[in-house]
Amino acid sequence: MPCTGGNRHLKTVTVGLLGCGTVGEGLLNLLAEERDEIAARAGVEIRVTKALVRRKDAPRKAPTKGIEFTTRLERVIDDPQIDVVVELIGGTDVALKGVEGALRRGKHVVTANKAIISQYGDRLLKLAAQHRCGLAYEGAVAASIPILQSLDHGLAGEKFDLVAGILNGTTNVILTRMGSEGAEFADALAYAQEAGFAEADPTLDISGQDTAHKLVILVHKAFGVRVPLRALPVQGIDDVTPEDIEHARQFGYGFKLLGIARVTDLGLDVRVHPMLLPIAHPLASVSEEFNAIYLHGRGIGPMIFYGRGAGSRPTARAVLGDLVKVASDDGALVPRLSMRAETAIKLAPAGRTTLMYYFRVTFTDQPHVLATVTNILDECRVEVHRIHAMGRQQGTIVMLTHPAVERNMQRAISRMNRLRYMTEPAKLFPMLEY
Ligand code: HSE
């Protein structure tokens, strides 16, 4: 990286920004506020000179003096003065083109884009290694929490049995508010959108896909395994009702959208679900837009990382961390493919691992429903350990199971759903046992 700074010890690094929305503005604000601190601590001056935007005249909530705004990607990535490209557009179209284009031109890349890293990560890491460029993406997972750097460095040799994370701020806001304030789903989502937590298309948050993107990246760092997105069972929160959150609470459990990866006898089991977890579990008290990652290492036992997982400044903080690192030591983030841990662990076959489950069925009043349900469970080899049954005209049965093979549980639920007196499809959510 060229040394163009005026101060004898200060290296000036020139940055081209792709996207100047919520996170881009957060980054420009942090850079302006922390300029002296960064210069003093890291010996670098970070100067943003160009920014790719959709509309050049849009109002910006950040200082933009000295930045040329452009609507043409090439104006940024073809600029020989630009050392580092920071991609904050999101999505997989222009963002992917921009990241690949920048790496091919020998520029370091910092991105917060979980969609491209989870789907094209191997290809991009290879490209970065070929061109001797840094590729850093701490902001892609759990915003302000430095989990990827920790897995790469401090925890490099640790072997994990479990990684479980609340990785999406928007859905955590929704579940928190539905549970504690009885808020409506739509109102809680509107708040998360207003606060700048939700994706441009919030379906990605609600459906669990955003969590899946982040989990794929996390699993790659923690287990050295690249899980194809399509191989991941993903259940969103659209099915969760305040009633389920209340039933869980009465059983002594909290309700969270979790991305989990656990080592089982059959291999690595990776999945995204709204899950019940004991109220005393450290993840159960993580509320609003906060994220947390709970790890269980063979050497270290349990460990938890906690912090703001969405929003302008928390995400910009992670991006700036990568930027300072790449600016102060331009070799530090070049992927070392030959040294990347490859593990022999295989993915567990679909439907074969065991989990404990919560399920709820509702039915018009009929005699013997409880007996019929327990009979089906028995035939499908699912054992129950707690039951709440209530109602007369409109009955509800809620059960918690012992560990059951996933496909057996699903078979039991399909049989229950076929009973003519069930009024809606059964709700089924797994539980975190650790
Ligand atoms: N939409 C994401 C979330 C943004 O709510 O967590 C941060 O990745």
- In the prediction, which pLDDT does 392 show? 65
Burial (CB count <10 Å: 0-12, 13-18, 19+), residue 390: exposed
Q: Calculate ∠ Cα 358-309-93, nearest 5°.
A: 100
- In the prediction, which pLDDT does 343 show? 61
b/e sequence 9-38, b meaning 16+ C-beta within 10 Å: eebbbbbbbbbbbbbbbbbbbbbeebeeeb
The two structure tokens encoding residue 161: 């049995």
- Ligand 1 centroid to Cα of residue 397, in Å, is 35
Residues of the chain whose pLDDT is less than 70? 1-8, 336-344, 392-393
Return d(Cα 136, Cα 108) in angstroms, integer: 8
Number of Cβ atoms within 10 Å of the Cβ of 264: 13
- Ligand 1 centroid to Cα of residue 352, in Å, is 31
- In the prediction, which pLDDT does 391 show? 76
- The letter for the amino acid at 30 is L
User: 210: Cβ below 6 Å to ligand 1?
Assistant: yes
The two structure tokens encoding residue 159: 């072997």
Is 221 labeled as catalytic in the residue annotation?
no
User: 198: Cβ below 6 Å to ligand 1?
Assistant: yes
Contact criterion met (CB below 8 Å) for 419 and 360: no
Return d(Cα 20, Cα 41) in angstroms, integer: 26
User: 168: Cβ below 6 Å to ligand 1?
Assistant: yes
* Nearest of 359, 391, 318, 426 to residue 26 by alpha carbon: 318
- In the prediction, which pLDDT does 342 show? 52
Contact criterion met (CB below 8 Å) for 282 and 291: no
- In the prediction, which pLDDT does 2 show? 44
User: 288: Cβ below 6 Å to ligand 1?
Assistant: no
Number of Cβ atoms within 10 Å of the Cβ of 193: 15
Return d(Cα 145, Cα 187) in angstroms, integer: 27
Answer yes or no: pTM beyond 0.85: yes
Return d(Cα 251, Cα 278) in angstroms, integer: 9
